[in-house]
Structure 1
Amino acid sequence: MPVFTHLRDTRIRTRLRDARDAHPVAARTLRRAVHVLAAALVVGALLMPNTALGLRPDRFTRIPAEAIIGAVLLLALPRRPRIVVAALYGAGIGVLTVLNLLDIGFTEYLGRGFNVVLDWGLLDDAQSYVADSMGSATATAAAVGAVVLVLLLVGVMALATVRLGNLLARHRVHATPGALIAGTVWVTCAALGVQVAGMPVASDPAVDALTGQTQRVVDTLRDEAAFAKEARADAFGATPPDQLVPDLRGKDVVLAFIESYGRTAVEDPLIAPGVVHTLDTRTAALTKAGYHARSGWLTSATYGGNSWLGHSTTLSGLWIDNQQRYRTVTSGDHLTLTKAFRKTGAWDTVGVMPGVQKAWPEAEWHGLDKVYDAFDLGYEGPKFSWSTMPDQYALEAFQRLEHGRKRDKPLMSEVILTSSHQPWAPIPELVGWDELGDGSVFDAIEKAGRKTSDVMADSTESRREYGRSIEYSLTSLTQWLERYGTDDTVLVFLGDHQPISRVSGRNAGRDVPVSIVAKDPEVLEKIDAWNWTEGLRPAQDAPVWKMSSFRDRFLTAYGSVPHPTEG
């Protein structure tokens, strides 16, 4: 077999040599073009920024120190070590390019760079999101395509660097002084601060990128130990049951999170008119029904996604802005807002989680006696992109299964509403509450809705449809309260995070609206000192708190007495 392989390779080389000899000009032109392409790939990868805003022509007018150092190193090595080092160097550049691309993607969607320690699991979540939004075939194709692209990128970079190393070796007489001149120019430009189009000519972007990634790893490892100690400390960790939320005894408390309900929904020029109209209209309707509301702002621990970080931050009173912190806190016994109600023994606790489609062991940490996931609510209608069911149906099922039942204790409920989850197409429409049935009524609405691909490709359409989805969620929730609430119902609802930058803008903050609604005037009197805005729409200058401060403020406002546990 090796003999036949050798003969085949010999024939191929002979044919290539014959073709080159027959067309010398074309062969020389092709060879030079490949050299130029290899150099462009390597230098371009070295200069590549890790943010979408950095993808500008002026970023590629610099001289990368890594290219000069690499050239000097390859010139100094004999053939075999040179090929090995060049291949490893090129593969390293390819890996760094992949990390830069991940940084760009994470920054666009989550407002932060990629963390090589914590974020690999989120890639699996991303595939699940694509499968839920656009189908399993698309998700599989995207995953396979991403793997092939990564392998191709690393392989091509390695081949390009080997080719450039061989080129330098063949022209060592001219390449050696050329590398020395380039190094001198780099040092001179660095010393004088020479710039082109506002960017320094001398740069070491790959070193900067690698340093940034390394610093994230170090910070993550340090934070893990520090946060574990922080999570063990709890201002209300040892509070006796009878001293927790005594001023809400007898009340049915509903804590609802509205997916991606951020400040952008209330202030963006394109989105806000519809959302503000909805908030004002629903405030008037609730007032007519005897309810009153107060609203403010919370700064979320997450942005664009990872909703569970916002939920756990609100419930725990801890700043949970990454997956390691989430794992740490949910594996412990830190008191959550929902668990505080259960600890009293005076409330039943329930969770309505239409977005949960697999085992969810965090239910115990949340302090929920019963959890209804996507499969427990009796829904037989269509999915709306990622959302397993319309908010209106989830709320009606909550009413049928728990809130509307006669019971010995009041109810503390955590409800996650998902209809405003990206990609915001198709969006459900409100139907008569008596027409909901098993959800089949939504079949025609889903079929008539917009296609996900049409909205995702257009930033303006994404913003417009995002606004419509928020209007739908707000109306569903407040109509549910208007229809089924009692004199003893207290509704607390808030956004978990801002929408992605394609909708909120690149410089958007992390603020989300939060509201408390009740008929009993004493419930709102307890938070008079908060100076929140009357109604469902927080004023632009309403107080802004960190989301992690909400638990303790809420517990304190309703009579809870701190009894700290030590870290």
Structure 2
Amino acid sequence: MRPRRRLRAWRARHPGVTRVLALAVTVLAGALVVVSLVLPNRAENLRLAYFARIPVEALMGAVVLTALPRRPRLVAAWLGGIALGVLTVLNLLDIGFNQYLGRGFNVMLDWPLFSDAESYLEDALGRAGALGVVVAAIAIVLVVLVLSALAVVRLSGVMVRNRATTARAVLVLSMVWMTCTALGLQNGGVPLASESTVRMVEHRTDLLRQTIRDDREFARTARADAFGDTPGSQLVPDLRGKDMIFTFIESYGRSAIEDPVMAPGVGRTLQDSTAALAKAGFHAKSGWLTSATYGGSSWLGHSTFLSGLWIDNQNRYRTVTAGDHLSLTKAFKKTGAWDTVGVMPGVQKGWPEQRFYGLDKVYNAFQLGYKGPKFSWSTMPDQYALQAFQRLEHSRKRDKPLMSEIILTSSHQPWAPIPKMVGWDRLGDGSVFDAIEKAGNNPADIITDSTRSKEEYGKSIQYSVTALTQWLERYGDDNTVLVFLGDHQPISRVSGNHASRDVPCAIVAKDPKVLDKIAGWGWTDGLRPAHNAPVWKMSSFRDRFLTAYGSTPHPSKR
């Protein structure tokens, strides 16, 4: 007996069970469709009030499907179900992106980020764990698409077989929906009448148009530069003879300084480091910059800070780094008065951006001589990276001063395990960190716990700041000028769902003339910016810095 005949025979023998099962499947199909139609795209909105709404799209769909002949109805049901599944997946992606990057998913720009996410998962969970997450994610997408299509097909068949009941239900619910809309009725602050899917489709369509338009407009903007045609002799004349160091600390955001969980420890570190630097003759001023990115995509923060352009998506990044816009680091190279170098322990493949940043030489993760263990995503502890910079470049005798760009990665999520400071003379090839890494936390234990994530994140920032300031105490001299800042805030699980995008920035020097040049900025003395210190867009720093240190604008034309 064929399976279909066996099924019919089983139904004939068990009519009661068959009716119950059929009803249960129909109810589940209806619930799936309604949930998909009212699903919010932010994690903080995943509460009952959002799912207790009447979606107008369901009423419209019921009218269309019951009016169509059988064959067109089946085609419409399948296509509509798949479309509903796609929208559900996009909403789920929005939830994830909002949690990690503080913005929704852009279907035109964000696909390359999945390879970065897979690499991060491999570092945090191991190869097997990352593979399991990827397989599970693919399976979830396929299941959502298939179940959504089957649910709509199932409901369309039920509605056609019960046209009269369906018509009455649609009429009543439509009246209820219109009444709720007219009176603005709400449940827990959420409107009872929903049209979220329609609005979401409109939003995504508008976003596509904006992305296409932004790509063209930004290309024109990037060609215009207030200092684009400034001769090298007229760039940063007031810093001639200084060893310049621009350093980004991964995920060093305002939350590290002001959140009640992280602030006490980070605040003590900044206070102690300010005092230690003052004892060594260094002084600092600090303020706030609003980053173009949040939670990740650090390269967007780096390029925004150094280019003077607002680079908040991958298209903008590709456009500016492929062009000739003057980056802050390239300005030093253009003078001919500095050697330029980059220390990039997070770079593990070809990096063509070296030309845009004007770096004569770049040391990636494999060129710093490190033989110790990785610390999750971070290829090496910041202390080692700084010591390698000292050994390979900063200690060398040269005819010119040195301009350096250094990326410190130890405070990259998942903040487990975290390195610890060791004696600078014990660093060697980094093998000294083996025992520290083995004794550290398991990333999987930290990722799932918001409070522990905050605590460990704060510790990682303390470590990075300590490593950097100790290096400056140890190896800086009268001609050393350090500019260091965070590239973005940590993810919302640590910084909060509505955290600002502000990051601290500090300029440190022994020569009082260096800080005198920025006296008019209103920045706070020391490494810890005051709560009410000025807040500028990160993209404004380049021009302010170039102007403060004597550069003469010569605009390039579009």
Shift of 1:13: 1.4
1:396 aligns to 2:387 (yes or no): yes
SS across alignment from 1:419: coil
SS across alignment from 1:565: coil
Q: Which residue of 1 aligns with 2:136?
A: 145
1:164 equivalent among 130, 133, 155: 155
Shift of 1:20: 1.6
SS across alignment from 1:420: coil
Q: Which residue of 1 aligns with 2:94?
A: 103
Shift of 1:172: 1.7
Q: Judge conservation of contact 2:255–2:262 (CA < 8 Å) in 1.
A: yes
Q: 191-200 vs 307-316, which deviates more?
A: 191-200
The aligned runs of 1:458-497 (5 Å cut-off) are 458-497=449-488
Q: Judge conservation of contact 2:124–2:377 (CA < 8 Å) in 1.
A: yes
1:411 aligns to 2:402 (yes or no): yes
- The TM-score with structure 2 as length reference comes to 0.99
Q: 2:426 is aligned with what amino acid?
A: E
2:414 equivalent among 420, 423, 430: 423
CA distance in 2, matches of 1:194, 1:481: 61
Shift of 1:18: 1.9
CA distance in 2, matches of 1:184, 1:484: 76
2:538 equivalent among 534, 541, 547: 547
SS across alignment from 1:298: strand
CA distance in 1, matches of 2:166, 2:277: 78
Deviations 1:217-254 (A, max 9, x none): 11111111111111111010000110001111111000
Q: 1:369 is aligned with what amino acid?
A: D
1:333 aligns to 2:324 (yes or no): yes
Shift of 1:170: 1.3
Q: 197-206 vs 302-311, which deviates more?
A: 197-206
Shift of 1:275: 0.6
Q: Which residue of 2 aligns with 1:558?
A: 549
Q: 2:385 is aligned with what amino acid?
A: A
Shift of 1:181: 2.9
Q: Which residue of 1 aligns with 2:437?
A: 446
Q: 1:304 is aligned with what amino acid?
A: G
Q: 1:444 is aligned with what amino acid?
A: A
Q: Which residue of 1 aligns with 2:40?
A: 49
Q: Which residue of 2 aligns with 1:353?
A: 344
1:242 aligns to 2:241 (yes or no): no
Shift of 1:133: 2.1
Q: Which residue of 2 aligns with 1:305?
A: 296
Q: Judge conservation of contact 2:54–2:193 (CA < 8 Å) in 1.
A: yes
The aligned runs of 1:23-102 (5 Å cut-off) are 23-102=14-93
Shift of 1:141: 1.9
CA distance in 1, matches of 2:187, 2:359: 60
Q: Which residue of 2 aligns with 1:533?
A: 524
Q: 2:303 is aligned with what amino acid?
A: S
Deviations 1:104-130 (A, max 9, x none): 111111111111111111112111111
Shift of 1:539: 1.1
Q: 1:273 is aligned with what amino acid?
A: P
CA distance in 2, matches of 1:353, 1:527: 28
Q: 1:370 is aligned with what amino acid?
A: K
Deviations 1:79-121 (A, max 9, x none): 2211111111111110000000011111111111111111111
Q: 2:250 is aligned with what amino acid?
A: E
- The TM-score with structure 1 as length reference comes to 0.97
Shift of 1:376: 0.5
Shift of 1:530: 1.0
1:14 aligns to 2:18 (yes or no): no
Q: Which residue of 2 aligns with 1:5?
A: none
1:256 equivalent among 238, 244, 247: 247
CA distance in 2, matches of 1:436, 1:423: 24
Q: Which residue of 1 aligns with 2:220?
A: 229
The aligned runs of 1:187-206 (5 Å cut-off) are 187-206=178-197
1:516 aligns to 2:507 (yes or no): yes
Q: 1:130 is aligned with what amino acid?
A: L
CA distance in 2, matches of 1:11, 1:119: 48
CA distance in 1, matches of 2:125, 2:380: 16
SS across alignment from 2:375: coil
Q: Which residue of 2 aligns with 1:215?
A: 206
CA distance in 1, matches of 2:510, 2:397: 20
SS across alignment from 2:213: helix
CA distance in 1, matches of 2:388, 2:185: 66
CA distance in 1, matches of 2:277, 2:301: 27
Q: Which residue of 2 aligns with 1:379?
A: 370
Shift of 1:173: 2.9
Q: Judge conservation of contact 2:124–2:444 (CA < 8 Å) in 1.
A: no
Shift of 1:491: 0.6
Deviations 1:241-300 (A, max 9, x none): 100011111110000000011111111111011111111111111111111111111111
1:320 aligns to 2:321 (yes or no): no
Q: Which residue of 1 aligns with 2:121?
A: 130
Q: Which residue of 2 aligns with 1:6?
A: none
Q: Judge conservation of contact 2:269–2:466 (CA < 8 Å) in 1.
A: yes
Aligned CA RMSD, in angstroms, stands at 1.1
CA distance in 1, matches of 2:432, 2:533: 40
Q: 1:242 is aligned with what amino acid?
A: S
Q: Which residue of 2 aligns with 1:501?
A: 492
CA distance in 2, matches of 1:442, 1:194: 61
Q: Which residue of 1 aligns with 2:257?
A: 266
Q: 1:245 is aligned with what amino acid?
A: V
Shift of 1:136: 2.1
Shift of 1:330: 0.6
CA distance in 2, matches of 1:240, 1:198: 59
Q: 1:184 is aligned with what amino acid?
A: M
Q: 76-85 vs 245-254, which deviates more?
A: 76-85
CA distance in 2, matches of 1:177, 1:277: 68
Deviations 1:288-328 (A, max 9, x none): 11111111111111111110011001100011111111111
Could you list the runs of 4 or more consecutive aligned residues of structure 1 that deviate by over 4 angstroms after TM superposition? none
Deviations 1:52-90 (A, max 9, x none): 111111111211111011111111112221111111111
Shift of 1:185: 2.8
SS across alignment from 1:362: helix
CA distance in 1, matches of 2:479, 2:519: 19
Query: Which runs of no fewer than 5 residues in structure 1 stay unpaired?
Result: 1-9
CA distance in 2, matches of 1:332, 1:187: 54
Q: Judge conservation of contact 2:376–2:414 (CA < 8 Å) in 1.
A: yes
Percent identical among aligned pairs is 67
Q: 144-153 vs 180-189, which deviates more?
A: 180-189
Q: Judge conservation of contact 2:291–2:488 (CA < 8 Å) in 1.
A: yes
Q: 2:257 is aligned with what amino acid?
A: V
Shift of 1:201: 2.2
Q: 1:464 is aligned with what amino acid?
A: E
Q: Judge conservation of contact 2:374–2:380 (CA < 8 Å) in 1.
A: yes
SS across alignment from 1:371: strand
SS across alignment from 1:354: coil
SS across alignment from 2:553: coil
Shift of 1:537: 0.9
CA distance in 2, matches of 1:32, 1:420: 53
